[in-house]
Structure formats: structure tokens, C-alpha cells
Structure 1
Amino acid sequence: MQRRALMRGIPAALLLGPALLRPAQALTSTDAAAGMRTALERGAASAVDLLGRPDGFLGNPKVRIPLPPALDQAAGVLKLMGQQRQVDELVTAMNRAAEAAVPEARTLLLDAVKSMSVDDALGIVRGGDTSVTEFFAARTRQPLTQRFLPIVTRATEKVALAQRYNELVGRAGAMGLVKAEDANLERHVTAKAVDGLYFMIGEEERKIRKDPLGTGSALLQKVFGRP
């Protein structure tokens, strides 16, 4: 009986036009935006916590920062020449530099989420697997790079990374394998650190979508929960 009454009411609502439908649609959009904003805030904070600690990058194969391509090509030869330890130390130092820089991202990321519009949020909800990365990259890549680069540079100086890198590139260059001027280690590490951060935010956000109940948030359960 109730179902019949409901079905009879639908044509009436449609005939009355958008005026009756608009409040419900606005509420739905607002809820979706609020849910996505909360999910990204949690995802960003979690990603910073996961990466900004010892082995955050080095111990995670998904975001572990490799040698620059040119140097990576020469690494095999250098290892054969007895430079295995130096190559390993270089990779470790690069990832430690990224781990030292990532905590500085927290404020920038959260500010980007707070400034998110309803359209931004709905675009992410409806978007593909890269929608989260695209949102953050458009708003934070440049300021994150500017903030990370001096931190990475200081970290490399602290662990003598620049000296190691110059030594390795010099040896590879002497063998004709790479030109030292073709690589900038600090910028390589910074770019990979930013990329890894975006990747982890996306991973954490997908976890929230998959298990909103596990977050303990009624809003996230309402937006992402399944009946």
C-alpha cells in the first residue's frame, strides 16, 4: 500500500519540476563533498604518517625511490667494480631524505582539501583511479616541490649524499656511461617523494571507500557505505 502511494507521488513531483527536487539533490551533493573532504583529510594525514618515518619510503616497494635512470644504468657496472656498498648507501640516503621531507607536506595538503569545492569533490567521486592524484598535483605539486627541495638538499648534505652521488656519477662518466650534468639528484628525489606521497594518499583514500565502517565516521559510512 505504501509503495503504491509512493509510486503515485513520483509523477506529481516530476510535474512540479526542479523546485521540489533541488533540495534533495543539493543535500546529496553536499554530503558527497563533505564525505570526500573527510576521506582526503584522513588519507593525507595517514599518508604523511606512513611515509614520514624511518623506512616509510625505503621499506615500501611501491614508493621506494630508485636511482636516477642514467645512474641506474651504470649501477650494474659499478657493482661489478666493487662499488655495491656505495650504490646501496646512495639509495638508502635518497629515501631517508624523502622521509625527512614528507612531514612538511601536512599543512599544504590539508589546506588544499579545505579549499575543495563541491564540484571538485564530485569530480573525484566520479573520477577514475588517478582523480585523487590529479586533484592534489594541480594544487600542491609546485609548493610541495619548493618546500621539499631545501629539506632534501639539507638531508643529502647531512648524509654526504651529494659527495657520494658526484663520486658515482664521476666514475660512470669516466666510463662514458652517463654525463654528470644530465642528472640533478636533489630534484630527482624531490619529484619522486611528491609522487610517492600522492600515490599513498590515493591508496589510503581507496581503503576508506572500501571500508567506511572501519573509520568510525557516520558521515563516511553514509557517503561510501553499501546497503
Structure 2
Amino acid sequence: MRTVIKLAVRYFYNTLNIIYIPMKHLSLTIILFAIFSFHSEVNGQKDLFSKAKKAASELKTSNSPNLTNDEVVSGLKEALTIGARNAVKFSSQMDGFYKNPTIFIPWPEEARTMKDRLTAIGMKKQVDEFELSINRAAEEAAKSAAPIFVDAVKSMSIQDGFNILKGADTAATHYLRTNTSSALQKSFSPIVREAIEKVKVTAYWTPLVNAYNNLPLVKKQNPDLESYITQKAIDGLMKMIANEEIKIRTQTSAQVTDLLKKVFGKK
């Protein structure tokens, strides 16, 4: 046994380039303690390095480790508020819906056959005018949409905030859509109704639907334009808000307040 220990100690010294000193004057206990201490220290250093590496990795991928609960929620509310206002600004201007392929409102899908038949009998001009009118209605309605979206984010909780912060680049917009859809529909519908009257959508629609319904062998059409335009307008504004959210999360130029910089600037 002593021979094995001596060989182990000699190997230990040779590995560390230390001059070997005969061990006969040292206690066997000290020798064993030295060997086991060395191995324990090496293993401990490996474990410490592994933990440090993991902590560094977590720190690197953390969004903003020094944020308070209030800052997270306030920052996300601010992002949604700014995003909603920018979305309203761009979509409510002339051609904001009509010439933006992302949010353009097409002829109602359920009445697509009606559109094709009317175009075929020489009413393309009237068909195009109607399509323009429903986009004009959405643009008009969008002018009053910002306060509705701003009010909708007031109920965001702390847990909601952290989930959104760690989520996808459009997580806040998804939260807004999921949690406020019914309220938005209810609040936005009267605004759309006024816009429909203002831009005279029905003046373009009524002659078209009457002309189609008088054709032989066709299924009568009369889609709910108010509901259709309301939903499409909300969908379009949500898409615009999502685009603004992506900018705020990924572009420092869009982080226009100190709070936004703190919440999103370290991503």
C-alpha cells in the first residue's frame, strides 16, 4: 500500500513540475490529505467555473435584470400607448388603409361572388368606389381609436407585464387583442357607424346589392357592413400596433423615453 501511495505522490509532483522529496519523514495521513485536497480543489474549481458560466449566460440573455415590477408594467403600457398612437396617426391619414397593402380592407369575402358578377356586367367602377368607401370609413374611424386602446391597457397586471416582456416581439399586441377584443368591438362599433354615414358607404353599397339581388338565380346578399368594417379596422390597427411594438423592442431610435430605453434597451 505504501508503495502505491509513494508512486501516486511521485506522479503528482512530476505532473506539477515540482522536485520530488522523499516522503518517509511525512505522515501517511498528511500525504492522503494532500492528494484528496488537490482533487477536491480541482473538482470544486470546475464546478465553480460551470456555475459562473451558467450565471453569465443567464445574465446575457436576461432582458433587464434590474427592473422593478412597476417599471416593467409602466414600460409596457407606455410602449402600447405610443404604439397605438403611432398606429392611429398613420392609418387615419388619407389612404392610410386604402394604399397600405398590409391593412387594406377588401370586398367582403362572403360577397366575393357578388363582386365578380357585378364587375362582369359592367359595374366595375361602382365596385371600386364601394371598396374605396369602406377603407375611407376605416380611416375616419381610426382617428378616434387611440383613447380606446389606451384605456384597454390599464388593467395589465405585474405577472402579465413580465410574461409580455419575456415573450415574442409582438407579445404586448397579442395581450391587447386577447384581453380587450370584446371591449374594443363594443367601443369601436359606434365610431365605425358614424364613419360609414360620413363617407356615405351605403350610398355606394345599396345600388350594388340591389343590382345583384335582382339578377336571376343568385343567392341574395346583404352582409353586415358595420360589423365587417369594424372588425377589419380593428385588425388593421392591431397590425400597425404590432409593427410599432417590434420597432420599440428592437430599434433604439424608437425607444423615445428613458423608461422605454430602460425596459427594452438591454435586449
Rounded Cα–Cα distance in structure 1 between residues aligned with 2:218 and 2:168: 40
Amino acid at match of 1:153: R
User: 5 Å matches for 1:144-155?
Assistant: 144-155=184-195
**Alpha-carbon distance change, 128 to 25 in structure 1, aligned in 2, over 3 angstroms:** closer
Cα deviation 1:78-103 (Å, max 9, x = unaligned): 22211111111101110111111112
- Quickly say closer, same or farther: Cα 1:104–1:192, change in 2 above 3 A: same
1:83 aligns with 2:123: yes
What is the aligned partner in structure 2 of residue 134 from structure 1? 174
Q: 1:180 aligns with which of 192, 198, 221?
A: 221
Distance between the aligned counterparts of 2:199 and 2:149, measured in 1?
28
Residue aligned with 2:261, SS: helix
Give 1:70's aligned residue. 110
Give the structure 2 partner of residue 3 of structure 1. Answer: none
- Given that 1:74 and 1:172 are in contact with CA atoms closer than 8 Å, whether structure 2 keeps it comes out as yes
**Alignment partners' CA distance in 1, 2:98 and 2:192:** 15
Q: Do 1:213 and 1:220's aligned partners in 2 also have CA atoms closer than 8 Å?
A: no
Letter in 1 for 2:192: V
Verify the 8 A CA contact 1:48 1:197 in the aligned structure 2: yes
Does the CA-based 8 Å contact 2:76-2:172 persist in structure 1? Answer: no
User: Where does residue 123 of structure 1 map in the other structure?
Assistant: 163
Larger helix proportion, structure 1 or 2? 1
Letter of the 2:88 counterpart: V
Moved over 6 A (4+): none
Contact 1:98 1:189 in 2 (8 A): yes
- Counterpart position of 2:147: 107
Q: Following the alignment from structure 2 to structure 1, what is the Cα–Cα distance between the partners of residues 146 and 137?
A: 17
| Structure number with larger C-alpha Rg | 2
Task: Write the distance in 2 (CA, Å) between the matches of 1:120 and 1:196.
Answer: 24
> TM-score if structure 2 supplies the norm length?
0.68
Cα-to-partner distance string for 1:49-85 (whole Å, 9 max, x where unaligned): 1112211111211011111112223222222211111
Within 5 Å, which residues of 2 pair with 1:1-227?
A: 27-128=67-168, 131-173=171-213, 174-181=215-222, 183-226=223-266
Tell me how far apart the structure 2 counterparts of residues 49 and 36 of structure 1 sit (CA, whole Å).
Answer: 20
> Are the equivalent residues in 2 in contact too, given 1:213–1:225 (CA < 8 A)?
no
Give the drift of 1:214: 4.1
How far did 1:175 drift?
4.5
Give the TM-score taking structure 1 as reference length.
0.78
- Deviation of 1:110 after TM superposition, in Å, equals 1.3
> Could you tell me whether the CA contact under 8 Å between 1:105 and 1:144 is conserved in 2?
no
User: What is the Cα-based RMSD across aligned positions, in Å?
Assistant: 2.9
The residue type paired with residue 140 of structure 2 is A
Give the aligned length.
208
Could you say if the C-alpha distance between residues 157 and 35 of structure 1 is closer, same or farther in structure 2, counting changes exceeding 3 Å? Answer: closer
Please give the alpha-carbon distance, in whole angstroms, between the structure 1 residues aligned to 2:110 and 2:79. Answer: 38
Mark the runs of 5 or more structure 1 residues left unpaired by the alignment: 1-6, 12-23
Give how far 1:129 is off: 5.5
Distance 2:255 2:81 in 1: 12
Partner of residue 38, structure 2: none
With 172-181 and 77-86 compared, the bigger mean Cα shift is at: 172-181
Gaps of 5+ in 2: 1-47, 53-63
2: CA distance between counterparts of 1:176 and 1:158? Answer: 34
